[in-house]
Amino acid sequence: MSDISGDAIAGLVRDIAGRAQGAARRLAMLPTGVKNDALLRMAAALDSEAGALTEINARDVERAQANGQSAALVDRLRLTPKRISDMARGLREIAALPDPVGEVTRMWKRPNGLDIGTMRVPLGVIAFIYESRPNVTADAAGLCLKSGNAVILRGGSEAIQSNLALGELLSKAIIAAGLPGDALQMVPITDRRAIFEVLKLDAFVDLVVARGGEEFIRAVVEQSRIPVIRHDKGLCHTYIDEETDLAMATEVAFNAKVQRPSVCNAMETLLVHQRVADAFLPAFCDQLKAAGVEVRGCMETRRVVPWALEASDADWDAEYLDLILAIRVVATLDEALDHIAHHSSRLSESIITTNYQHARRFVHEVDAAAVFVNASTRFTDGNEFGFGAELGISTQKLHARGPMGLESLTSLKYVVYGDGQIRA
Amino acid sequence: MSDISGDAIAGLVRDIAGRAQGAARRLAMLPTGVKNDALLRMAAALDSEAGALTEINARDVERAQANGQSAALVDRLRLTPKRISDMARGLREIAALPDPVGEVTRMWKRPNGLDIGTMRVPLGVIAFIYESRPNVTADAAGLCLKSGNAVILRGGSEAIQSNLALGELLSKAIIAAGLPGDALQMVPITDRRAIFEVLKLDAFVDLVVARGGEEFIRAVVEQSRIPVIRHDKGLCHTYIDEETDLAMATEVAFNAKVQRPSVCNAMETLLVHQRVADAFLPAFCDQLKAAGVEVRGCMETRRVVPWALEASDADWDAEYLDLILAIRVVATLDEALDHIAHHSSRLSESIITTNYQHARRFVHEVDAAAVFVNASTRFTDGNEFGFGAELGISTQKLHARGPMGLESLTSLKYVVYGDGQIRA
């Protein structure tokens, strides 16, 4: 598609964004029932067109295989009947959630009699840039529409046929429900210049949410005139405290590493207090080995687990996204906290302890989107937190942090009721 | 100061930011009492050094006058004993506010037994770029420190001597209270390149808050790799509904225009329903005229107020910040809502009405940081909202909107308490 001129791309993208902005003002005022009807129609369309979607998706899959893409990428790309019905179920779950728009989260009275409240309102137009998984498309569309926002979707180029088919099907469903069709638009070209044109349109687009590799996201943030919420790196730790339940530590740490190693909230580094290293590490590492996990340890780890590979300094900063675990034995809780402060990506951190003060210190002192006591780092997730779905997991502190559900797609306005008050 | 090399400026700014980041981790953990002690010491230092401060400030004032700066700028620049004691009082008020850090705003239980809560945490390092008023310096320092953030201050070049003196005095006070001195730093040079160097330091600075003219803020947003919250333009409307209390309408609209016309929340355009134009406008405009306000009206306004000047299309988009008012008569509430949607800067909008449904429509349909019923647009202000002080008034939707108090300077983290939960 690189034969399209830059001007043509800019014009196309600007047209999409302008129409999205027009739709956003109407969307912001829609009653909850109308939005929910649209979501249910979207779900029904997915169910009834599942066969056609899998056929179209097969073309993307074939092309990816022909291009020699990795098995992992091809797997993420594939739409199975099960995945399509999961998308439909996700939309029905979003329909069942309370509408965040118009919620007054609190209201207070001032000494002069003014009643001041904070009301949730939509952001306006959201541009969502994501990778090859086409099933994210339905979640993103559902969350944006329910929160009263127009959305411009730009999925991975590998999934272009699947995403265009999904976009058409979902657009028809929202039009049938009486929503403006421009509320949900797909950027129809795979040329990367289209992304960078979107990033210039701060007069039309209120927020960019970008999911992808660290390097790509950095380029997006640097080029964008629009605020960007990024979902990039996850380098998560589990710390086994000196006072701990060894069976729980084994189960939780194993889950954090092995249950789904390719995702951002999987554990990459295990920290173990020296007082429990002998009791904990040998059996735990045997279990890892049996599950195919490569263990890379510090010197003290290798004293108790001689077969472990030697960890280098680079391992403490490595996001493996794979069946590899770095293990470091620490002398104190402070040493663990320091290690986390220096190496964590500040996404998902966990302590396994039976000591009240240690749990309390960990919760207060670790700076991360989610801090766990006695639970797997894998729980940092919109569904697991009860948000129904997520647009991504924000790895930054501004506006939204952690799993992004409906509320993170809203802003607020102050609503103020008076009886003629003036300022002195 | 333009004889400093770009490299020297970059090095200086980077050193400031690096030290601020070091201080931020300590600040985040400080007990409330220690932070409040620092705020009270800052207030006491302002009181005891008021004489020296006014003397140093006189040099800035003299230089500004010699440079032919406007009387308005010179007035904003001036530190009087009253203004200094107001700064001290502001700091004491911030000390009296609840500490936002560590507040768990809600907590819920998941079906698997996990307790998930949202805890307020500091952002880290805030860079605050503002204009010539040195009294903003104390408010900004107080709000940032109370919310556990390190702050880098960069005031207007006209106020450089005053700001450096303030910075030194406040730094000494916080060091005496046991806070790291690097938690509060002033950029000591007036060269504008220093601002643009700060904007590159996304590895050290978490948020930029920028107050100033529209064009300057636009340059800041375009250059910044760090999220920017802007406080720029205010084009505010008051709408006099067809069903209204004319005495209240007169008093509130007059206040919105005249009480302090140079600020962003002053009214710039008055919209009047045609059914009350004859009864309302002649007497109201006479009152404006007596207060020295220039009136520019639409054709219908000039029918009832023949001496009014003719408004051009440009007037509906003009932020006068002066004793000038544009007046337009509208046929319906819808026409008023459309006018506001097209011309408002979305900061502060007010309806004066006795009709319940009209009030309700206005509150829901107007997209602005603050929407008022029967009160002056001038109330969009941190103090008036009960926040003690404000860092600025955000004119955007992301992260913070409207007056920025302590809460807007925090992020959140999810704190999750479990009993060994793992993901299936």
Q: What is the 3-state secondary structure (H, E, C) of B165-224?
A: HHHHHHHHHHHHCCCCHHHEEECCCCCCHHHHHHCCCCCCCCEEEEECCHHHHHHHHHHC
Are the Cβ atoms of B368 and A413 closer than 8 angstroms?
Answer: yes
Query: Each residue of B168-220: pLDDT tens digit?
Result: 999 999 999 999 999 999 999 889 899 999 999 999 999 999 988 888 888 99
**Nearest to B272, CA basis, from B188, B364, B351:** B351
Mean pLDDT of chain B: 95
Are the Cβ atoms of A373 and B411 closer than 8 angstroms?
Answer: no
- The answer to the question of residue A95 being in a domain is yes
Distance from CA of A395 to the nearest CA of B (A): 11
Q: At residue B57, what are phi and psi to the nearest 5 degrees? A: -60, -35
Model ipTM?
0.92
Query: Could you give the CA distance from residue A243 to residue A333 in angstroms, rounded to a whole number?
Result: 11
Residues A260 and A154 in one domain: no
Distance from CA of B96 to the nearest CA of A (A): 17
A172 touches chain B (CB under 8 A): no
Are the Cβ atoms of A413 and B371 closer than 8 angstroms?
Answer: yes
Residues A301 and A183 in one domain: no
- The answer to the question of residue A323 being in a domain is yes
A26 touches chain B (CB under 8 A): no
User: B354 pLDDT exceeds 70?
Assistant: yes
**Are residues A97 and A385 in contact, defined by beta-carbon separation less than 8 angstroms?**
no
CATH number for A51? 3.40.605.10
User: B2 pLDDT exceeds 60?
Assistant: no
Which of B93, B101, B416 has the highest number of chain A CBs within 10 A, making it the mutation to test binding with A?
B416
Helix (H) or strand (E) holding B273: strand B267-273
Residues B189 and B47 in one domain: yes
Q: At residue B185, what are phi and psi to the nearest 5 degrees? A: -130, 145
Residues B51 and B198 in one domain: yes
Residues B149 and B286 in one domain: no
Residue of B372, B376, B422 lying closest to A255 (CB–CB): B422
pLDDT of residue A132: 72
Q: Which long-range contacts (CB under 8 A, 24 or more apart) does B161-164 make?
A: B161/B56, B161/B57, B161/B59, B161/B60, B162/B53, B162/B56, B162/B57, B162/B60, B162/B77, B162/B79, B162/B134, B163/B134, B163/B137, B164/B188
Residues B228 and B240 in one domain: no
Are the Cβ atoms of B414 and A402 closer than 8 angstroms?
Answer: yes
**Are residues A344 and A237 in contact, defined by beta-carbon separation less than 8 angstroms?**
yes
Chain B environment of A380 (Cβ under 8 Å): 414
Helix (H) or strand (E) holding A230: strand A228-231
**Are residues A419 and B374 in contact, defined by beta-carbon separation less than 8 angstroms?**
yes
Are the Cβ atoms of B418 and A372 closer than 8 angstroms?
Answer: yes
Distance from CA of B414 to the nearest CA of A (A): 4
Pull the structure tokens for residue B248: 């209240």
- The answer to the question of residue B178 being in a domain is yes
CATH number for B287? 3.40.309.10
Chain A environment of B368 (Cβ under 8 Å): 413
Least confident stretch, A48-57, A358-367, A381-390, B2-11:
B2-11
Are the Cβ atoms of B401 and A411 closer than 8 angstroms?
Answer: yes
**Nearest to A411, CA basis, from A156, A206, A112:** A206
The beta strands (E) that lie in A102-142 are given as 104-109, 115-122, 125-129
Give the CA radius of gyration of chain B.
24
The amino acid at B284: F
The amino acid at A184: L
Chain B environment of A28 (Cβ under 8 Å): 367
Query: Each residue of A6-42: pLDDT tens digit?
Result: 899 999 999 999 999 999 999 999 999 999 999 999 9
Residues A308 and A254 in one domain: yes
User: B395 pLDDT exceeds 90?
Assistant: no
B 133-162 near A (Cβ less than 8 A): none
Those residues with Cβ within 8 angstroms of residue A402's Cβ, 6 or more apart along the chain or in another chain: A347, A369, A370, A380, A385, A393, A394, B412, B413, B414
Which percentage of chain A shows pLDDT scores above 90? 86
**Are residues B288 and B295 in contact, defined by beta-carbon separation less than 8 angstroms?**
yes
Query: Could you give the CA distance from residue A66 to residue A72 in angstroms, rounded to a whole number?
Result: 14
Chain B environment of A368 (Cβ under 8 Å): 413
Query: Each residue of A36-62: pLDDT tens digit?
Result: 999 999 999 999 999 999 999 999 999
Are the Cβ atoms of A373 and B416 closer than 8 angstroms?
Answer: yes
**Are residues B325 and B294 in contact, defined by beta-carbon separation less than 8 angstroms?**
yes
Sign of CA dihedral B125, B129, B134, B140: negative
- The answer to the question of residue A421 being in a domain is no
pLDDT of residue A1: 47
- The answer to the question of residue B289 being in a domain is yes
pLDDT of residue A231: 86
Alpha helices in B97-183 (DSSP H): 135-146, 160-176
Query: Could you give the CA distance from residue B16 to residue B151 in angstroms, rounded to a whole number?
Result: 10
Are the Cβ atoms of A28 and B124 closer than 8 angstroms?
Answer: no
Residues B205 and B348 in one domain: no
Query: Each residue of B121-152: pLDDT tens digit?
Result: 999 999 999 987 888 899 999 999 999 999 99
User: B50 pLDDT exceeds 50?
Assistant: yes
Are the Cβ atoms of A418 and B374 closer than 8 angstroms?
Answer: yes
**Nearest to B349, CA basis, from B394, B379, B390:** B379
Residues A185 and A65 in one domain: yes
Which range marks the domain in which residue B339 is found? Answer: 236-381
**Are residues B352 and B243 in contact, defined by beta-carbon separation less than 8 angstroms?**
no
Residues B273 and B149 in one domain: no
Sign of CA dihedral A199, A202, A204, A206: positive
Residue of B116, B367, B372 lying closest to A385 (CB–CB): B116
β-pairing, A207-211 vs A184-186, is unpaired
Helix (H) or strand (E) holding B421: strand B410-421
Residue of B367, B368, B399 lying closest to A399 (CB–CB): B399
Residues B151 and B44 in one domain: yes
Under DSSP, the state recorded for A222 is H
Residues A211 and A246 in one domain: no
Chain B environment of A260 (Cβ under 8 Å): 423
Q: B344 to each of A298, B8, B35, B388, B395, how far by Cα in Å? A: 61, 43, 39, 27, 11
Are the Cβ atoms of A416 and B102 closer than 8 angstroms?
Answer: no
Sign of CA dihedral B12, B15, B21, B27: negative
User: B1 pLDDT exceeds 50?
Assistant: no
Are the Cβ atoms of B363 and A415 closer than 8 angstroms?
Answer: yes
B105 touches chain A (CB under 8 A): no
Pull the structure tokens for residue A19: 């129409």
Are the Cβ atoms of B422 and A368 closer than 8 angstroms?
Answer: no
Least confident stretch, A122-126, A143-147, A197-201, B130-134:
B130-134
pLDDT of residue A2: 56
Are the Cβ atoms of A421 and B374 closer than 8 angstroms?
Answer: yes
Query: How many domains does one find in chain B?
Result: 2
Are the Cβ atoms of B415 and A371 closer than 8 angstroms?
Answer: yes
- The answer to the question of residue B246 being in a domain is yes
Query: Could you give the CA distance from residue A19 to residue A8 in angstroms, rounded to a whole number?
Result: 17
Distance from CA of A168 to the nearest CA of B (A): 30
pLDDT of residue A395: 87
